[in-house]
Amino acid sequence: MLSSHGSMPTAALLLFFSLLAPAATPSRLDQALSSIGPATTIQVTVNPEPTSTLRSVLAPLADLVAKGESTTMGGYNAANRGRASDLGRDGLSAVFGGRDCSEITIGEILLAQGQRRLHAAGRYQIIGITMPMAVRSAGLSGADMFSPENQDRLFLALLKNKRPLVWLYINGLSGNGLGAADAMSREWSSIAYWDGRSYYGGGDRAHVSREEILSELEQTRERMRSHTQHP
């Protein structure tokens, strides 16, 4: 799952308090999201809507992340309250009365995370501290559904805006593959750090080896180069 270490930013707290208000509506969710300023992320200019070709370029990398984070626990419907598998398989259904992720709004996910009924959500196990930034960077709102397509957009937003070392490397704008791998392990605790263990230690385990992530980043870089030359 994504790390929960560190204190919650003030902007995120403001978002959660807004969400907890009884009269919360999608428009208020959007206002709360807009209060999160650009200082919370490093922006890389991108089109927030990935093309189907770009999705196919990134699909193997996304699959590798999911292998360590959620594949055995429901994929896009995976969730936990702070400990791996504490909600069982398809944890979102357990929290939201049996509903599929495509029937749950992003606003509901944010609200549940703010109320601590939910910690990590979806295929990429995005936690409450990270979710507001990812939503805003992806060009989504609280009224949008937490669908597989939108979860993939959130994954793309994390690579581009929260972990730009990854995005720069796979686009051939940096040769720092080791730095890109480190960034991946800082974002997803199931990906091994340079010492072969989870970056966050504790109860988190590395399910994706250092060799696997380095290899996949290099292959993604090659696919991206081919995509750029022959879109």
Distance of CA 30 to the CA centre of its chain: 19
Task: State the amino acid at position 56 in one-letter form.
Answer: S
Has residue 50 been placed in a domain? no
Has residue 175 been placed in a domain? yes
Has residue 44 been placed in a domain? no
CA distances from 83 to 87, 93, 97 (A): 9, 17, 20
- Please state whether 13 falls in left (phi above 0), alpha (psi between -120 and 50) or beta: alpha
What is the Cα–Cα distance from 107 to 16, expressed in whole angstroms? 10
Helix runs in 35-126, H state only: 52-69, 91-95, 106-114
What confidence category does residue 145 fall into, taking pLDDT thresholds of 50, 70 and 90?
very high
Q: Pick the residue with more confidence: 215 or 14?
A: 215
What confidence category does residue 24 fall into, taking pLDDT thresholds of 50, 70 and 90?
very low
Count of domains forming the chain: 2
**Do 5 and 114 lie in a common domain?**
yes
Residues 52-70 pLDDT 10s: 767 789 999 999 999 999 9
Which domain-ending residue is among 158, 176, 197?
158
What is the Cα–Cα distance from 78 to 85, expressed in whole angstroms? 9
Which domain-ending residue is among 132, 158, 184?
158
What is the Cα–Cα distance from 123 to 110, expressed in whole angstroms? 16
Residues above pLDDT 90, as percent of the chain? 68
**Do 129 and 25 lie in a common domain?**
yes
Torsion angle (degrees, nearest 10) of CA 164, 68, 226, 211: 90
**Do 148 and 172 lie in a common domain?**
no
Has residue 45 been placed in a domain? no
Residue 206: name the closest of 193, 216, 215 by CA: 193
Which domain-ending residue is among 158, 190, 210?
158
Has residue 58 been placed in a domain? no
Which element (helix H / strand E) includes 79?
strand 79-80
Average confidence (pLDDT) over 93-111 = 97
Q: Cβ distance 112 to 24 under 8 Å?
A: no
- In this predicted structure, the answer to whether residue 10 has a pLDDT above a threshold of 60 is no
Of 28-32, 144-148, 165-169, 205-209, the range with the lowest mean pLDDT is: 28-32
Distance of CA 202 to the CA centre of its chain: 21
**Do 19 and 100 lie in a common domain?**
yes
Average confidence (pLDDT) over 136-162 = 96
Length of the chain counted residue by residue: 231
What confidence category does residue 194 fall into, taking pLDDT thresholds of 50, 70 and 90?
very high
